Structure 1
């Protein structure tokens, strides 16, 4: 039994959904289908999720939201017409949206979340109806009915242990189960959404729960590439990679798969395959627990911008017990999580995602560092990027860091920070954002210029 998840571009239009149906028909083992909300049909298109956010905001403002509601309904109506479905499914979707708008607005975040989740939920209803119309035995299953019980953490919910026990019963369903991604329900019956890439997380949870032989994640690319193809010309494909490698690359900017989504599959030893809805015969990328050693110690290079650095300096900092803890506590009080903490004897840098900072928060952080920590200097700088080299073979490869730093130097960039985790699966370089593309190209040339295919 396989779980097949289809992303937003794979279910964005009637033509795409017909491809999905053909893929499901092709393999009888594909018994559980997880779907996202309709994504973009073309570059300048608007995703249904964004239309739903506009609808939520209009409703919260107290204005007449009919125009925004009809914009959502029209997208589904267009898909339904293209699939030869009648008006009945469109009426079901419209009534669902009106019911959601009528719910309590006391908690604004929950109100927005439950409207956003309607994108996946209603698309699952529509796709199940289409499958049935073409002779596929299929049914829509709501996460609440299936028992997808999650923690009470809006926007970052996690599946609870009992959810896996409940979801295992999906194995006994006849035909194809069409399941909406992105959300579950708390023990109190309140809808909760997952983090970014929520539909990927749903698919991974279901694959783990039913003990699937494979979790297929269908997107719009043939495979995972060793570097961003929008920056590097024709990067090599990665044929096989480990969970750890994919998680590191996803965290560092690879948009093809969200880093949190791998954990349920990894913990239950379910292999994952990234495949292309538009080219399903392509081999794709297999993500497994272990892989064969390849010639290149580096399997992929990721780059992600939007970082800021909090620099703190104090003489004899290294001899002051609890200094680091108190500094991180200051950040915790401002609801800021950190990414890296490179340090020296008298200096400590804390690298954070820039979106967490505001001018007011920065002012408070600086004030607290001066008043509570009695630092000699503290300041915050912005516009940094992190370049990450990833590969299971890096830990026993001599001279790799030297090769990387030489390539970065030749690209004309200055290295602001170097960090390597204890697992030695990744090596991180902090640089200025303006240098990102040049550094990415230079590192790719250094490590992949003679490598044709990875993980064969």
Structure 2
């Protein structure tokens, strides 16, 4: 049995859904299908999920929301008309949205239900289309499929008991189409995963049914070793390990939501990234282990939007609990840290700029000064992180030397570097305006 997940670009319109149906028919082992909501049809288009979020935000502000609702209805009307299937789903969407808004649920639960409307409706459309082609197929609600999640709106976590229920999908003979992105709490409330959560659903279902393979269909032939908007025609990666993909996803690769692989990883299920527009292409396979390579570096990822809080104090290393106290201050402000490079008298805490409001920053700096009595405390903005990723890097001589020479060649100053704690990556902190030239120099060093 294979589980196939189709992303937003793969289900954006009727033409793409016809390709999806052909892919499903091409392999009888593709028995469980997970779908996203319709994505962009062209570069300036708006994803259906974004329209539904805008609808909800307008409603909560007591502003008109009919335009966003009508745009969603028009998108689905266009799809059903071109596929020549019933347009009953249009009425269901309209009634469903009105029912959500009129319910007694909290605003957070209402927003989750609105956001899930795109995936849920698309799954019904695809199952109806497969039936029109003479295939034995059915729509299956995540609650019926056994996807039971924690009661945390917008950030659901799968409950272990789910896998026992999901395994029963193996007993079904028909093709099952499941909407991604959401599950149900034990009390029966619809709860969504974090954004990009359809990938999480696919991974959960693959683990639950103990699939031979989890196929994730998107709009690229494979994962590239570097962002193709920075380097023209970069090399493709044919195989990755879970650890490598996790590091790359964290540092800016957008192919996968960075939590998506955890269920598949735990169940040791191979994941193959494939192109809906070129389904016979090799794609990229993600596995637990792979054979050592002469060049252990598989990819270079970059992401901007980071801040460094720098704290210096003479004899810091002799002061018991200094690091714990510093991180506790961040914890009290609900801020998680990304990296903590340190020396004997200083420490930097790297956090995402998006989580640090002006008010939080002022409170944090004031508490650090008051509670830790540092010699120096400062905040450095506009940082980018670049990750050089590959298993086996820790046992290969000269990689850090090559990397630092690449930065020197690009005339980029390294603000910070961290490798010791990871077997699969080297992290470099630089100024955000130097990302492109740095990535190009590293690509030339490791791949050309």
TM-score, with structure 1 as normaliser: 0.96
SS of residue matched to 1:305: strand
Q: What is the distance in 1 between the residues matched to 2:94 and 2:126?
A: 16
Match of 2:292 in 1: 293
Deviations 1:179-227 (A, max 9, x none): 0111111112122211232000000000000010000000000001110
Contact 1:331 1:365 in 2 (8 A): yes
Shift of 1:104: 3.0
Match of 1:203 in 2: 202
Contact 2:8 2:36 in 1 (8 A): yes
Match of 1:177 in 2: 176
Q: What is the distance in 2 between the residues matched to 1:190 and 1:315?
A: 53
Q: What is the distance in 2 between the residues matched to 1:223 and 1:48?
A: 25
Match of 2:362 in 1: 363
TM-score, with structure 2 as normaliser: 0.98
SS of residue matched to 1:195: coil
Contact 1:37 1:123 in 2 (8 A): yes
Match of 2:50 in 1: 50
Deviations 1:235-269 (A, max 9, x none): 11111111111111111111001221111111111
Q: What is the distance in 1 between the residues matched to 2:184 and 2:346?
A: 45
Contact 1:8 1:36 in 2 (8 A): yes
Q: What is the distance in 1 between the residues matched to 2:394 and 2:155?
A: 33
Q: What is the distance in 2 between the residues matched to 1:114 and 1:413?
A: 47
Shift of 1:11: 0.3
- Work out whether 1:222 is the aligned partner of 2:221: yes
Structure 1, unpaired ranges of 5+ = 450-456
Q: What is the distance in 1 between the residues matched to 2:412 and 2:201?
A: 40
Match of 1:112 in 2: 111
Shift of 1:68: 2.1
Query: Quick check: 425-434 or 128-137, which moved more?
Result: 128-137
- Work out whether 1:309 is the aligned partner of 2:308: yes
Deviations 1:399-423 (A, max 9, x none): 1101100101111111111111534
Shift of 1:156: 2.1
Shift of 1:108: 2.5
- Work out whether 1:36 is the aligned partner of 2:36: yes
Shift of 1:65: 2.3
Contact 1:274 1:286 in 2 (8 A): yes
Query: Quick check: 145-154 or 176-185, which moved more?
Result: 145-154
Match of 1:267 in 2: 266
Match of 1:453 in 2: none
Q: What is the distance in 2 between the residues matched to 1:206 and 1:299?
A: 28
Contact 1:227 1:235 in 2 (8 A): yes
Q: What is the distance in 2 between the residues matched to 1:422 and 1:361?
A: 29
Taking the TM superposition and a 5 Å limit, the aligned residue runs for 1:46-445 are: 46-104=46-104, 107-445=106-444
Q: What is the distance in 1 between the residues matched to 2:209 and 2:162?
A: 11
Match of 1:9 in 2: 9
Deviations 1:1-59 (A, max 9, x none): 00000000000000000000000000000000000010000000000011001110121
Contact 1:4 1:30 in 2 (8 A): yes
SS of residue matched to 2:261: helix
Q: What is the distance in 1 between the residues matched to 2:125 and 2:154?
A: 25
Shift of 1:153: 2.2
Q: What is the distance in 1 between the residues matched to 2:123 and 2:36?
A: 8
SS of residue matched to 1:445: helix
Shift of 1:75: 1.0
Q: What is the distance in 2 between the residues matched to 1:188 and 1:22?
A: 38
Q: How many residues align?
A: 448
Shift of 1:353: 0.7
Match of 1:452 in 2: none
Q: What is the distance in 2 between the residues matched to 1:286 and 1:67?
A: 42
Q: What is the distance in 2 between the residues matched to 1:343 and 1:156?
A: 32
Q: What is the distance in 1 between the residues matched to 2:365 and 2:286?
A: 43
Contact 1:243 1:262 in 2 (8 A): yes
SS of residue matched to 1:325: helix
Shift of 1:154: 2.2
Match of 1:454 in 2: none
Deviations 1:120-157 (A, max 9, x none): 11111111111111111111111112221112222222
Say what the alpha-carbon RMSD is for the aligned residues: 1.1
Q: What is the distance in 1 between the residues matched to 2:314 and 2:107?
A: 47
Query: Quick check: 150-159 or 216-225, which moved more?
Result: 150-159
Contact 1:58 1:68 in 2 (8 A): no
Query: Quick check: 297-306 or 90-99, which moved more?
Result: 90-99
